[in-house]
Amino acid sequence: MTLLALNEEAAMPQDRPKDRGIVSSLWAQTACRAPAGIQALRGDIEVDVVVIGGGYTGLSSALHLAERGSSVAVLEARSVGFGASGRNGGQVNPGFKLDPHQAPGRFGAAAGERALNFVGSAPDLVFELISRFSMDCHAMRPGSVTPAHSEAALQMLERRAEGWMARGVPIKMLSREETERAIGSPCYVGGLLDPRGGSLQPLSYARELARAAMEKGASIFDNAEVQSLQRKDKGWIVRTSTGTAKATNVIVATNGYTGNLIGGLRQTIIAANSFQLATAPLDDATAAGILAQGRTASDTRRLVLYFRKDPANRLVIGGRGQFGDPTRPEDFSHLRGAFARLFPQLSGIPIEHNWAGRVALTQDGVPHLHEPEKGLLVAVGYNGRGIAMGTAMGRAIADYLGGDAQALPFPVTPIQGIPFHMFQRLYLAAAINWFMFRDAF
Ligand SMILES: Cc1cc2nc3c(=O)[nH]c(=O)nc-3n(C[C@H](O)[C@H](O)[C@H](O)COP(=O)(O)OP(=O)(O)OC[C@H]3O[C@@H](n4cnc5c(N)ncnc54)[C@H](O)[C@@H]3O)c2cc1C
């Protein structure tokens, strides 16, 4: 196995000296350059809105607020796209954990439809922004496949398809043979093809969102870890080690990288690692047999396995793993095992990249919005589906702060920690074992 050197521009949090050679991100190696104009925060600034976190949620908030005429500063602890936004699978998926028939029961009829409309149309916004700002991020939208790992999962997909079709989405169910032909793996009993899905280069998309936000007037600061937030008069004082920002409103968009800035927030999510690997480029004949139309796939297992090709025909496959950051090559062995089972025809193909990033899981599986004080808005918990949802959440937050009280797609809830959160590592290990057991059926 060849492991490539880390790209320093997008250094990973696991980039401690002892981890060098274990983590090598495909996206860091192949991304477009970070835009010029990202600054270091020195001294004091004053803006309408400070955004904490330079991932899709924060950058999309900044872009849409700037388009509305607000002055905005994004403060990112490391570099734009350092978090999950620069490390994910690049699958632009519609939907969230709840299926159409479940959302009204969870939120109420009208709010359930609003939530469904939000998650169903979120990919439209991603591709519209990419087109409007001519973003260089290898975007394509040939649809996404959800392959079913069991007959029970296939029935669940049929119900999901009915729900979306009743709302006008031309979903297609695939037979076992059609699924195998579409994705190139013999391991599934059928599947669902959703035309709303697509893919992109995730770190490039984050950097291009930053460029678009700056073109519209937002300021972006990196190496600007926010250390404290303090209420002052009708606004906020936001402090980093090198400067201070004064703002009327603050947006917290730190997701799986949330620290202790807002009391109790870290305890509302489980920040679990998702792992990925990428093969060497496949030759044309082999590549033609796997996801031939450039579609993406994300399966029905509780411990989801997701895969796609990149423009150089590398197969990129991801899945949940241990709780902590990877520190040894063996930390990726579960994924190499899954890869070998799903694509036996690729045995002998070298794996050239391994990396991981943190997703924010919520107990109820849906994103959480909090407004603990006036002018302080928090959005976290995309449960591994934040490319479209985070982008659309950013626009919704901008609309909300712009005066549209109905703009937020989910209810604003109090910050409420997961009971016994200090045992999250144990929770997750137990859940993973249980899910592995269930996924076997
Ligand atoms: C391996 C992996 C695969 C995934 N695959 C997919 C996929 O295929 N499709 C999909 O839709 N979703 C996927 N996701 C989920 C998706 O990437 C996330 O939901 C999304 O990127 C979240 O964006 P965000 O802006 O909310 O948070 P993030 O991108 O995580 O950004 C949070 C940022 O906050 C910064 N920060 C934290 N604390 C501070 C502070 N005090 N001051 C300043 N900055 C701070 C961090 O440095 C970080 O950059 C995946 C995630 C991972 C990790």
Over the stretch 133-184, which tens digit does the pLDDT of each residue have? 999 999 999 999 999 999 999 999 999 999 999 999 999 999 999 999 999 9
Residue 256 Cβ contacting ligand 1 at under 6 Å:
yes
- Ligand 1: which of 76, 252, 310 to mutate, most ligand atoms within 8 Å of CB? 76
Indicate if the pLDDT at residue 419 is higher than 90: no
Q: Could you give the CA distance from residue 214 to residue 356 in angstroms, rounded to a whole number? A: 28
- Ligand 1: which of 9, 41, 52, 85 to mutate, most ligand atoms within 8 Å of CB? 85
- CB-based burial label for 341 (10 Å; 0-12, 13-18, 19+): exposed
Stated pTM of the model: 0.94
* Atom of ligand 1 at shortest range from CA of 358: 53
Indicate if the pLDDT at residue 401 is higher than 50: yes
User: Taking a C-beta distance cutoff of 8 angstroms, is the pair 358, 340 a contact?
Assistant: no
Over the stretch 11-21, which tens digit does the pLDDT of each residue have? 444 444 444 56
Please give the pLDDT value at position 102: 95
263 phi and psi angles, rounded to 5 deg: -55, 125
Residues in the chain, total? 441
- CB-based burial label for 214 (10 Å; 0-12, 13-18, 19+): buried
Residue 54 Cβ contacting ligand 1 at under 6 Å:
yes
Indicate if the pLDDT at residue 323 is higher than 80: no
Q: What is the mean pLDDT of residues 112-141?
A: 98
Residue 57 Cβ contacting ligand 1 at under 6 Å:
yes
Supply the mean pLDDT for the chain.
91
Over the stretch 207-256, which tens digit does the pLDDT of each residue have? 999 999 999 999 999 999 999 999 998 899 999 999 999 999 999 999 99
Please give the pLDDT value at position 331: 87
User: Taking a C-beta distance cutoff of 8 angstroms, is the pair 236, 250 a contact?
Assistant: yes
Q: Could you give the CA distance from residue 127 to residue 122 in angstroms, rounded to a whole number? A: 9
Over the stretch 340-399, which tens digit does the pLDDT of each residue have? 999 999 999 999 999 999 999 998 999 999 999 999 999 999 999 999 999 999 999 999
Where helices occur in 318-384 by DSSP H, the ranges are 333-342
Q: What is the mean pLDDT of residues 192-197?
A: 98
Query: Kindly report the CA angle at 128 between 133 and 274, in degrees rounded to 5?
Result: 95
Three-state DSSP class for residue 321: coil
Which segment of 33-42, 212-221, 222-231, 325-334 scores lowest on mean pLDDT? 325-334
Kindly give the distance from the C-alpha atom of residue 70 to the centroid of ligand 1, in angstroms, as a whole number: 24
Where helices occur in 166-314 by DSSP H, the ranges are 176-183, 202-215, 284-288
Residue 78 Cβ contacting ligand 1 at under 6 Å:
yes
> DSSP class of residue 19?
G
Residue carrying structure tokens 């079913």 = 148
Indicate if the pLDDT at residue 302 is higher than 70: yes
Where helices occur in 216-332 by DSSP H, the ranges are 284-288
User: Taking a C-beta distance cutoff of 8 angstroms, is the pair 264, 380 a contact?
Assistant: no
Please give the pLDDT value at position 324: 75
Q: What is the mean pLDDT of residues 44-59?
A: 98
User: Taking a C-beta distance cutoff of 8 angstroms, is the pair 126, 387 a contact?
Assistant: yes
Over the stretch 255-298, which tens digit does the pLDDT of each residue have? 999 999 999 999 999 998 999 999 999 999 999 999 999 999 99
Residue 191 Cβ contacting ligand 1 at under 6 Å:
no
Over the stretch 58-90, which tens digit does the pLDDT of each residue have? 999 999 999 999 999 999 999 999 999 999 999
